[in-house]
């Protein structure tokens, strides 16, 4: 099931394989925490991204990084959004 933002599929930047280890990525929506250079943290909910469960790398659309104003942030936590899990259960 493709990830959608505002009802539109977001597949142009999502990848099937991790560029680091070549294993399959999980493409979904994630609730995340980004640590900023000043030590503050920014929470982002239900953002479309790709996660490598082996490398623990989260891949986001570069335009989304700019839109969220987190270009210097480091993702320190990501979990699949409960919105996605609820949709799958229905």
7-66 pLDDT, tens per residue? 555 445 567 889 889 999 999 999 999 999 999 999 999 999 999 989 999 999 888 999
User: Which token pair is 10?
Assistant: 């977001």
Q: Is residue 9 assigned to a domain?
A: no
Q: Is residue 44 assigned to a domain?
A: yes
Q: Is residue 86 assigned to a domain?
A: no
Q: Is residue 56 assigned to a domain?
A: yes
pTM: 0.74
- Find residue 75's DSSP bridge partners: 34
pLDDT at 2: 47
Q: Is residue 51 assigned to a domain?
A: yes
Q: Is residue 76 assigned to a domain?
A: no
Cα–Cα separations (whole angstroms), residue 60 to 23, 64, 86, 88, 90: 17, 7, 22, 22, 27
Burial state string for 33-54 with b = 16 or more CB within 10 A and e = fewer than 16? ebbeeeeeeeebebbbbbbbee
pLDDT at 82: 82
pLDDT at 15: 72
Q: Is residue 39 assigned to a domain?
A: yes
Domain that holds residue 57: 24-68
Q: Is residue 2 assigned to a domain?
A: no
What is the tally of structural domains in the chain? 1
């Amino acid at each position: 099931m493709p990830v959608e933002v505002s009802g539109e599929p977001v597949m142009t930047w999502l990848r099937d394989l991790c560029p680091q280890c070549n294993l399959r990525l999980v493409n979904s929506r994630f609730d995340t925490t980004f640590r900023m250079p000043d030590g503050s943290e920014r929470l982002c909910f239900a953002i479309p991204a790709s996660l490598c469960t082996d490398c623990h790398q989260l891949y986001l659309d570069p335009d989304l990084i700019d839109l969220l104003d987190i270009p210097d942030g480091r993702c320190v936590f990501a979990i699949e959004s409960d919105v996605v899990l609820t949709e799958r259960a229905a």
